[in-house]
Amino acid sequence: MHATGGAADVVDAGGQGGPGRSRYVGPYVLITGLDDSHSRIPVPERRYVARSADGEHTVLLSLPGTGGDPQRFLAEAEASRYLLGPSAAPATAFSGPGEPAWYARPYQPALPLPTVLAVHGGPLPERTVRALGVALAETLTVVHGQGLTFAGVSPAAVLCAADMPQLTCFGAVRAAAPDGTPRSGLPGLETGSLPPEQASGGRPRPLGDVYALGATLAYAATGCTTPERDEIPAGIRMVIARCLSRDPGDRPQLNELMDELVGDPAPDETGAESRSAALLTPGWLPGRVIAALAHQAAAVLAAELPAVSAPAAHPSHSRN
């Protein structure tokens, strides 16, 4: 899908679109690329909407990015099965032994955050940025409570669906290079979203996720992950600036970040506290973005699988 959320062209696994071109990946046929090839924001993996050869299942399928380590990529995707949280979108199917690395999860109409800004025509409203921040912070709080670090929050890693954002590109920092290896400038990593301590090769830690989330929110609010302080809307300027502190000790805790973005937590229908429920209400995404999501859904639904010879019978490699 391009920035306009346009029609779904059949693509090959190298990302080159065009009618009549196709490629099987595992049991799936690629339908369209998810990311805008003209975007200036790096993406750590190649993402496609794909459909099973029998037409029964549509998925979001990812392949390692250029220059990435396929084994680390697959290990991080496997580990995502254990991620919890409302915006977590864990992988559910994986490549089998002897196959090139890939993973997939059920498809839901969604646009990468850079595409959302392109569709909207510029930086997003403060209401949207606040909702985005709280929803992602809630999920990172759960992830950190599991003793894990996401290590890959960036504008490209965030997909916006109609109901809430989703976190993808699992462990992008770890998949890009082992601990101790400088990561700045590596393919697929967005420099502005990379915490300084991780750019130099330090082990990913929870406060690094806070930095990356701050950079992602700065991007949503200004179109840049490293804006000048006065470019950030005044209502969220201070908390985002603190997230982007070079010293991890100066960054806010996630609960503090959520308090700054939404104020007192609001109870949901079950009586449990949910800050994001108070913000992810109708209208949290601009109208043009909702229209683009509807257009994407219709285009994917209408896409016809090409008449190509299917590979030998292939297991789904789903994990329970």
According to DSSP, the residues that pair with 48 across neighbouring strands are 33, 61
Query: What is the pLDDT tens value at each position of the chain, 320 positions in all?
Result: 333 343 333 344 444 334 344 588 999 999 999 999 888 899 999 999 999 988 899 999 999 998 888 999 999 999 999 999 999 999 999 999 989 999 999 999 999 999 999 999 999 999 999 999 999 999 999 999 999 999 999 999 999 999 999 999 999 999 999 899 999 989 999 999 999 999 999 999 999 999 999 999 999 999 999 999 999 999 999 999 999 999 999 999 999 999 999 865 554 444 445 789 889 999 999 999 999 999 999 999 999 876 655 554 454 555 54
Report the alpha-carbon distance of residue 230 to residue 260 in Å, rounded. Answer: 18
Sheet holding 93-94, edge to edge: 24-25, 28-33, 45-52, 58-64, 103-106, 93-94
pLDDT at residue number 306: 66
* Domains defined along the chain, listed by start: 24-109+289-302 (3.30.200.20), 111-287 (1.10.510.10)
Report the alpha-carbon distance of residue 130 to residue 147 in Å, rounded. Answer: 26
Report the alpha-carbon distance of residue 101 to residue 96 in Å, rounded. Answer: 8
pLDDT at residue number 134: 97
According to DSSP, the residues that pair with 167 across neighbouring strands are 88, 158
pLDDT at residue number 13: 45
Q: Which two tokens stand for residue 268?
A: 């949901």
Which CA distances in Å does 212 have to 52, 109, 146, 149, 291? 34, 24, 19, 12, 29
| Cβ partners under 8 Å of residue 264, min gap 6 | none
Beta strands in the chain (DSSP E): 24-25, 28-33, 45-52, 58-64, 93-94, 103-106, 111-112, 158-160, 165-167
